[in-house]
Amino acid sequence: MTISSVEKSAAVSVSVSVSADIAIIGGSGLYQMQDLTNKRSVSISTPYGTPSDDIVLGELNGVTVAFLTRHGQGHKFTPSEVPYRANIYALKTLGVRYVISVSAVGSLREALKPLDMVIPDQMIDMTKHRNSSFFGEGAVAHVAMLILYVLKSRMF
């Protein structure tokens, strides 16, 4: 893993050990976090290919955070093209234990208006046309989909 300045002004990349407990994955429209300080960009290669973009590490209120754009800068990946496994693997190599994923979606409930924020406590995986698991090719596992979210987030 190499690290360089976010502005890419430094021509030299230096190998260093970096980590973050929390990651934020930005969805459509969220391509950077203005409030991050001490920003640095990390390029990570994974067995699943290259993540959708470099991971930006920075501090938010004294906490080291990893930020990754789901669709890449300029929204270059469609939902079916996003390298989800590479993204999650790269975040895990940084020590990330919690992921906050931001998405822009519509609703069938009139009470939910544009710009409203909703924190789900369940989901249905409607994945199509891409690998949706780290398992397969001889690695077999059954993962419960019942409790996907940290209990602390269910208390809101």
Q: How would you list the strands of the sheet with 55-60, edge to edge? A: 2-4, 37-43, 55-60, 63-69, 22-26, 98-101
As beta bridge partners, residue 22 has 65, 98
Determine how many CB atoms are found less than 10 A away from the CB of residue 129: 9
Work out the average pLDDT over 48-71.
94
Lowest model confidence (mean pLDDT) among 29-43, 63-77, 133-147: 133-147
List pLDDT tens digits, range 76-131.
898 888 999 999 999 999 999 999 888 877 788 899 888 888 777 777 667 677 77
Regarding pTM above 0.85, the answer is: no
Give the residue extent of every domain in the chain: 1-105
List pLDDT tens digits, range 33-57.
889 999 999 999 999 999 999 999 9
Fold observed for domain 1-105: Rossmann fold (3.40.50)
Give the torsion through C-alpha atoms of 44, 49, 54, 58, to 10 deg.
-50
Kindly tell me the number of DSSP H helices and DSSP E strands found in the chain. Answer: 1, 6
The full DSSP string for 44-55 is --BTTB--SSPE
The single residue listed with the structure tokens 């079916």 is 80
